[in-house]
A and B are shown apart, each in its own frame.
Chain A
Amino acid sequence: MSSNDKLRVLVVDDERANITLMADALKPDFKTVVAKSGPQALERARSENPPDIILLDILMPGMDGYEVCRILKADERTKHIPVIFVSAMSEVGDETRGLEIGAVDYITKPFNPAIVRARVRTHLESALARAKISALLDNSGQGFLSFGRKLLVDEEYSRECGKIFGAPIGGLPINVLLYPAEKAGQNNFARNITRILSEPDSFKRDLYISLMPSEFLLRGKYLRAEYKLLGDDKLMLILTDITGQKELEQGIRQERRRLKLIVSAVRDTLDFFEILKDLDELKGRKLKDLPECGAPRPDIVAELYRSIHTLKGLFQQMDFIHLPAALHNLETRLSAFKQSAKDGLDFAALKAVCDSSELDRAQLKDLAVIEEALGADFLIQRGRIAITREQAFGLEALSKRLVASGACGLDCEDLALLRGLSIIRHINLKTLLSGCPKAARQLAERLGKDIYPFSIEGDDVLVDPDRFGNFSKAFIHVFRNALDHGIESPDERSAMGKDETGKITCTISSREQELGLSVSDDGRGMDVDLLRARAVSSNLLGHDEARLLDDGAVLRLVFEECFSTSKTVTDLSGRGIGLSALKAALDELGGRVEIETEKGKGTTFRFNLKNLS
């Protein structure tokens, strides 16, 4: 818009008399510029100092007014200048045609000067207002655009839209713009717009609008979308680039996970390296050898499956970022393989299942986090500055020999030192199981259950971690079982008049070489009759067998492989292999287990082991 005090009106007419008449009419309020032909009018409109509004005669020799208007409206430089047609012709058809090609008004000759001035002023004011609004929208940093039933984007959209879509979008279908490569998305969006625009009920229309996608990912940018109705047949879409905010959120989430992993590695260093060792063993011996050992027996496959499952849980407990998912995928593949391999094992398929490259990648990524934070030395020294395993075994053997031989010349202190050395690798069973309470609480949270914090109570007993390794790793399954099947949800507990928060205890007791370990919960208890029925239905027992079996033995069926009372398999529980892994480890140690349960009151698992140190 011109910065002169008076706004400039371009009067286009091929007859001098008409121009004079119009100039006189405008004189009190406006400055007049003149063009006597179409081409001249275009030249003036495109000049350095363009008019604020154009009064355009229709009938001119050569290029007529319609043609001039069409060219002005197609030109980026001049399309914003309002055009008013001036003509002696007064048929409705002409007026309509003029407005259709973009004119704002139509004045018929002869005219009243005051009315011409008023109309010109009105159109100038609204053009000014439009310019202000579009400047506002252009500078808002948001993409404003509108469309109707045909989904075609209106020509007036804010500048940010150009940045968002990377090209002019006027006249293009909005559903294709928002879902460039997704036919289903395009169709849903189009159908939803039709639903919104044809819904007469405003309550329902608002429900539809509230369910429209509120975020889009487009050309690598996250966009927040808001929808506003414009009248009855148009929707305005407001797009805001929230990529920065999203990246920040993701960054924070990722950082939190990295920190958790690092803290776990530092706090539970022994466990950390222990499970990495287990992973190496899984990848090396188990996964590599299995396809090559001829016909893998089903029990070997089952054993592999159990160790993958246990390892997955351990990596979850230690807050590893990528390994749990990789192990879960492996477990799922193996599970599918077991299903399909009932009528004979296919070695090529098994080899594909056992491919460990995904595990390798996940392990590298997770260890890179540790290395970056704690330095390569942490991984190389495995968190310790002490002796190697072989040296420890050597010292143990030596000290045992010395003590046993009753070596001469050793005083009490020496003997105590030697005894200490003979169990140099031994650690407190409480330490070995220290991850369980935390894992149990995390699991409870995931299952929507509430338990009081607890720790491993009772006697301090030193055990050989190599001997107790499998048992301590599988021990978490007792807690899983208690949380999954024992402890009820807070709602259920309060409905039964129980404390909403459940209680789990774990106690170690030691007498001579007898080692007792008990885990109790105050949950719903185990249903012996249900177990009996399930044993029959899953073909574990015959009907009569089940009837004759005493309750204690029936309860112990939960340790059988694939005996699960849960109907659904989650990534945490229900595949019925957790407790069987524990039982296998218990058998290895020559231990026994007893279960006591009372309906509605809870269950206690009592493990009895020999501690040979």
Chain B
Amino acid sequence: MKSLTFMLVDDSNITIKRLTNMLEEIGHRVVYVAGSGQHAAEKYMSVRPDMVTMDITMPDMDGIEATRRIIEQDENAVIIMVTSQGQEQMVIEAIEAGAKGYVMKPVKKEKLKEHIEQVFAKYGA
């Protein structure tokens, strides 16, 4: 598939590094990293990535609220939640708020690749 641009939203450096490595190995590009939901919502329109990966639990603004704010600005924003077991109910709410998919931690490269392809096939511009 074609190379996509990504914005990562996460407050954990380790997760950001892991995701960046994986996405680059898959052939995509990380063009912006936001360390908080607030920051992501502010920067989204100027960055305009093909896809966003979004952590659920972050200190200032959680991933559900950040998703809501981004979707308010661009309802076609393609946001994938990055989540762990036990957060299923929050993911459901994020999807209701407009997130287009989710991957479970620990994220596996193959699974991530497959999910990006599925979501892009459905929502990609």
Contact = CB atoms under 8 A, between A and B. Distances in A.
Interface residues of A, number: 15
B97 to A, nearest CB: 12
B95 A489 contact: no
Nearest to A492: B17
Contact of B96 (A195, A448, A489): A195
A204 B95 CA distance: 8
B14 A448 contact: yes
A348 interface: no
B122 A211 contact: no
A491 interface: yes
The binding surface of chain A is classed by DSSP as helix
Contact of B101 (A188, A207, A213, A492): A207
Interface string B86-114: 00110110011000011000000000000
Contact of B92 (A208, A489, A492): A208
Contact of A491 (B18, B89, B96, B101): B18
Interface of B: 14, 17-18, 21, 88-89, 91-92, 95-96, 101-102, 122
A452 interface: no
B95 A213 contact: no
Nearest to B122: A203
Given A188-B89, A203-B122, A213-B88, A208 B17 contact: no
Interface string A282-294: 0000000000000
A207 B122 contact: no
20 contacts: A188-B89, A192-B89, A192-B92, A195-B92, A203-B122, A204-B95, A207-B95, A207-B101, A207-B102, A208-B95, A211-B88, A211-B89, A211-B102, A212-B88, A448-B14, A489-B14, A489-B17, A491-B14, A491-B17, A495-B17
B68 to A, nearest CB: 16
Interface in A178-202: 188, 192, 195
Nearest to A189: B89
A226 to B, nearest CB: 15
A497 to B, nearest CB: 15
Interface in A463-512: 489, 491-492, 495
Contacts of B122: 203
Given A195-B96, A203-B122, A211 B14 contact: no
A537 to B, nearest CB: 20
A213 B91 CA distance: 12
A204 B99 CA distance: 10
Contacts of B21: 491
Contact of B91 (A188, A211, A448, A495): A211
Contacts of B14: 448, 489, 491
Contacts of A195: 92, 96
B33 to A, nearest CB: 14
A211 B95 CA distance: 10
A211 B99 CA distance: 13
A489 to B, nearest CB: 6
B65 to A, nearest CB: 18
Contacts of A188: 89
Given A192-B89, A195-B92, A195-B96, 7 more contacts: A207-B102, A208-B95, A212-B88, A491-B14, A491-B18, A491-B21, A492-B17
A80 B92 CA distance: 40
Nearest to A212: B88
Contacts of A207: 95, 101-102
